[in-house]
A and B are shown apart, each in its own frame.
Chain A
Amino acid sequence: MSDVTEVDQSELVATKAWDTSLFKRLLEFVRPHKRLFAASFTVLMLLFAGELLGTWIWRGAIDGPVAGAADAEDKGPYVSALLGWVFAYLGLVVFMTVLRYFETATLTRTGQAVVHDLRSRVFRHLQRLDLKFFDGRPTGALVTRVTTDIENLSEMFTSGVIVLLFDLIKVVVVLGILFTINVKLALITLLTTPLLIGVSLAFRGGARRAHREVRARLAKLNGYLQEVLNGIRVVQVFRREERVAGRFGAALDKYFKANKRTIFLFALFFPAMSLAVYVIQGAALWAGVVAITGKSLSYGEFVQFWLLLNMLVRPIRELGERYNILQSAFASAERIFQILDTHAEVADPARPVAIPAASGTPPHLRFEDVRFQYVDDTPVLKGVSFDVPPGKTVAVVGATGAGKSTLVNLLLRYYDVNAGHVSIDGVDVREVELEALRERFGLVLQEDFLFAGTVRENLVMDREGVTDESLQRALDAAQARDLAERLEGGLDAEVAERGATFSTGERQLLAIARALAAEPDVVVLDEATAAVDSATEHRIERATRELLQGRSALVIAHRLSTIRDADEILVMARGEIHERGTHDELLAKGGLYAKLHALQFEEAA
């Protein structure tokens, strides 16, 4: 039961709300948008000035025409004076309304500009990282870096840093003005406002924890729901509806409890804030009335004082919230910079060497005493040497874990060898520019991947040298022309999520077409093992033959036809080559391969 309701504790870890070095790094992303930032700041400043001006108009109107008309017989001049104030106020209202639009629009634009840059930068950086980096992390966690973490930062830019800084200025300036109106009143306010700040800050930590807990519980709940929906067939056939409902109910109860805590905190927070405000207002009222009676304060001044007091409340009330925004933004920034600080070990060489064989000529591939391990002390390849002469095919067979796919990883430089050399035309692959190396390859993987987009986009992948013509040739060679034609829109039909439009066998044909489209010089083929029906099988065999024809190829082979046609077969076991030779040579040798072949042949007959 614990597994359904348990909450990921890492979600609950608190971080610093301010980190100068992180902030400085973030500022680098602000620099290109300095103007937008300046504009945002100006808008906020003008708005503030307008707000202040408004309080003066009230004071002026009350102390001027309203007070002046008290004992006057002829009200006329006072009325027109008042109208002057009203017009000034109306002008101010128009000015403020326009600014209010820009307040939101410009701040959003500023924040989003920075965030877009940052997001693109992080993604671009991720693209360059080693496969080791990706193999060691769940995809979901990486996705979070370019989604949730970036969004947290966006909040920091739009409603965090600028506004917080601004709110501080606001509080200080308003307090200052209060002093110019009436020192005694201002002192009383200054003494009472810490109450408000105290409530806001006291609430901050609790609210944050409670919110996180609710979010985590909700994620759990929805995760379980999704899981049950995925397994609904199993639930129903086993008649376990009540069991899953029980678990869901337990998770719901925990979610409710977490919610209750949050509700309690918020129910307490708002009235507590109000009470603090009342105390401040009550104190000001009392002092104000005393001052008015003592003639040291005019009505106009009092009204201005009151209005300014209202201006103080909002920034202070939101102080806690801003603090929380900053805190989670810094946590996200830290994770993001961690990625930006990770550098690829498999990188372009300082002085790249060109591959001798020109494009269009199949190169010579060589593995020389190659040793490799993913994890310390667990060697996967223990000194493997073989050649793939230009235009020839080497097929690798062997049990799972024998190191077959590692050969592919090293040849394409997904990983670098620990010892020995992998070379192409006599040049170590580590001395070649990555792109120059990989663009010579045609790649067909076991679980080949189709991306969202049209069939054409998936086949072309924006590669130079892939033309309509070469694509058509590739589709023909891969026996895949009718697959695309069958779809509405042909090659321009959208591929369904995860390539569900096509069966496993069809996806293999498309992957072959994709590889062929760029007319590669080297082919890396990892044959899929899934059973397909005989018609598809025939097509795959023909397509494979077309693919390997005239190219240097390394094949992790499963099909007998592929194996039999190979120029050399490597029988691999436990990171070493156990037997090698052509099909006929291996049969003649009478070794393991021959024994197995005979066994199969008898069984099939």
Chain B
Amino acid sequence: MSILVRFFRRFLRYRSPLFLGLLCIPLAQLADVGITILVGNALDRAKDASDAAWMRHVLTWMAVYAVGHCVLRFYQRWLIVVVSRRVEIDMKRELFAKLSSLPFAFHDRSRSGDVVSRLTSDVEAVRMTLGPGLMYTLGAIVIVPISLAILFTIQPTLTLAMILPMLGMGVTMKMLSGRLHRFSVAVQESIASISHRAQENFGGIRVVKGYAREEQQAGLFEATSRVNRDNQVALGRARGLTHAAVNGSFDLTFAVILLVGGLAAVDRTLPVGDLFKFIDLTIKVFWPLIAIGWVLGMLPRAVASAERIQELLDEENPIQDGDSDLAPADMRGGLELRGVSFTYDRGTAPALRDVSVSVEPGQTLGIVGPTGAGKSTLLNLVGRLFQAESGAILLDGTPIEDLRLSTLRGTLGYVPQDSFLFSERYDDNIRFGADGELTDGEVDALIERVAMKDEVAEFPDGSATVVGERGVSLSGGQRQRTCIARALARDPKILVLDDCLSAVDTETERELLGSLRTAGEGRTVLVSAHRLSTVKEADRIVVLTADGAVEATGTHAELLERPGWYAETWEQQQRTESLAAAVESKISTEMGGAA
């Protein structure tokens, strides 16, 4: 609970609208109660008065109360809910900033769905409870005692008798809330699996049809849908029970009024107007009570959500700026790894063991090895996406921990393995790389440098075209060239290529290598690869073993002479890939020449 109080402080940033809104609540409720009393009194006097002036008096006051109530209700909701939305925005902004600053190790170990849910459903749960939830609670806290007090002065026994069914309802609601929650979670999950099944089927439709598995798949889908139906029906039953409990106790309250109030009326101790007040106030008291039940039901979830949000905000970031005031301009691009080891949080065995290798400014270092050898890990350590466990990584002789992050990363131009691009304008994706603003001319020059000029010109809006699902979809090779352009946009001293060429066919790779050779001139290049032809020209190649140690270091020629993984894989890759690749690449040119 105390954590919710802590979160409530965020609401206090908007003190004046919040307090004004909160002030509206009791006033609105009082106006509402006022109407009931007016009507009740009017009924009592109806039998002995047919006074037009009195009638006018009653109706005027009723109008005043009614309008007052409505205006206050408007302001109550408007002020409080808007504040709660403002707080939501604040929390999301804060969480987003936190998330984007957290080290990669955090993102690596958490599932993105889980992180997204903290920013969405957790924030919503906290907002609902502290915003509208508080509003309803406060409303109930005001109207329930006031109404009961009024009723108590009229008829104490009846009031006490009325409270009983209400308490009964509260208890039932509390008992049912667990079941309701359980079933609604089950429903959500079964909806998710329906969508997952459909997604998978439509994505793999070639396999489904190729094996004539349409019927089997339809059967599986139907079973999934049936689970959802059954969960929905179970939830419907639980809702039915709740619905029956709430309304049943509501009706029971009326039975109590009929009994006790009726008896009192028969005895002439309760005038009809008072009986009316009982009925009307019961209606007015009952729904706020249900709202309290609803808020109480939400509380445990809100507390859990608040804790999860707080946990994320408290997440520590061990990767901080160093003290050195070197700037990117001071760096030359020489890199040395000394006995670097690293183990992932989730891993048991080290991903890298005692790796030592160095590269002079302007030289190219190739990193190869079998799947899972730690090639990407090594590159991630250089950018301090992870912190090396032991050993040292030196940039121009300075340990990278001593550098400011902006200096270290300002020196690096990174081309990721998955050639990730934002679904934004094509040129914005390239501008993304530069620390300053790029002119259109500079962007065009970069596009030309990665041989994308003609292709970009064919996009519907040229370089202003949006990339991705809602815009033009780029081929693997185009994406990679764009990523290279983005990396070059920051004019980096060191170009880092994380196995970015293995997903393209050999012909595209050849083209890319060509554009990289020009791009890499004067820069240090770190390139990891699956396909050995990618690193053939490197000044030095480091071969990692499957368990992350260095097997050998040398040039392409040196490594070929030496029996081992490199020579073996080279021979095999030549044998398997070259011919088909050559046919693929040359045939169009030959045909083009012949035609």
Contacts and interface: CB of A to CB of B under 8 A. Distances in A.
Nearest to B588: A399
A194 to B, nearest CB: 18
Nearest to A506: B371
Nearest to A540: B576
Nearest to B113: A226
Contacts of A486: none
Interface stretch (B85-93, B291-299, B345-353): B85-93
Given A3-B424, A104-B243, A534-B569, A398 B584 contact: yes
A527 to B, nearest CB: 8
Contacts of B73: 267, 270-271, 274
A256 B225 contact: no
Per CB-CB distance, the 5 closest pairs between chain A and chain B, nearest first, are A108-B236, A449-B204, A97-B248, A271-B70, A104-B240
Contacts of B433: 238
B236 A397 contact: no
A433 B118 CA distance: 52
Of B42, B92, B583, B584, which is in contact with the most chain A CB atoms at under 10 Å from its CB? B583
Interface string B237-258: 1011101100110011011001
A268 B74 CA distance: 6
Given A62-B272, A66-B272, 4 more contacts: A119-B225, A278-B70, A574-B588, A600-B574
A292 interface: yes
Contact of B112 (A75, A229, A541): A229
Contacts of A274: 66, 69-70, 73
B531 A531 contact: yes
Of A97, A147, A286, A438, which is in contact with the most chain B CB atoms at under 10 Å from its CB? A97
B488 interface: no
Contacts of B425: 3
A534 B568 contact: yes
A435 interface: yes
B194 A146 contact: yes
Contact of B255 (A86, A236, A245, A604): A86
Interface in A314-341: none
B579 A600 contact: yes
A93 B251 contact: yes
30 contacts: A3-B471, A61-B258, A62-B275, A66-B272, A82-B259, A93-B255, A97-B251, A101-B241, A108-B237, A124-B221, A124-B222, A143-B198, A233-B104, A234-B416, A236-B104, A236-B385, A237-B409, A241-B100, A248-B96, A260-B82, A263-B77, A267-B81, A271-B71, A274-B66, A443-B206, A443-B210, A443-B211, A538-B572, A559-B580, A561-B576
Given A65-B266, A108-B236, A289-B42, A120 B74 contact: no
Contacts, number: 446
Contacts of A236: 100, 104, 383, 385, 409
A142 B116 contact: no
B11 interface: no
Interface stretch (B45-53, B149-157, B393-401, B439-447): B45-53
Interface in B98-149: 99-101, 104, 107, 112, 115-116, 119-120
A235 interface: yes
Interface stretch (A184-192, A355-363, A591-599): A591-599
Contact of B586 (A278, A402, A592): A592
B587 interface: yes
B410 interface: yes
Contacts of A253: 89
A233 B416 contact: yes
Contacts of B359: none
Interface string B349-393: 000000000000000000000110000000010010100000000
Contacts of A469: none
A134 interface: yes
B100 A232 contact: yes
Contacts of A127: 201, 208, 214-215, 217-218
Contact of A299 (B43, B70, B202, B406): B43
A184 B204 CA distance: 69
Nearest to B199: A143
Nearest to A78: B266
A128 interface: yes
Nearest to B216: A462
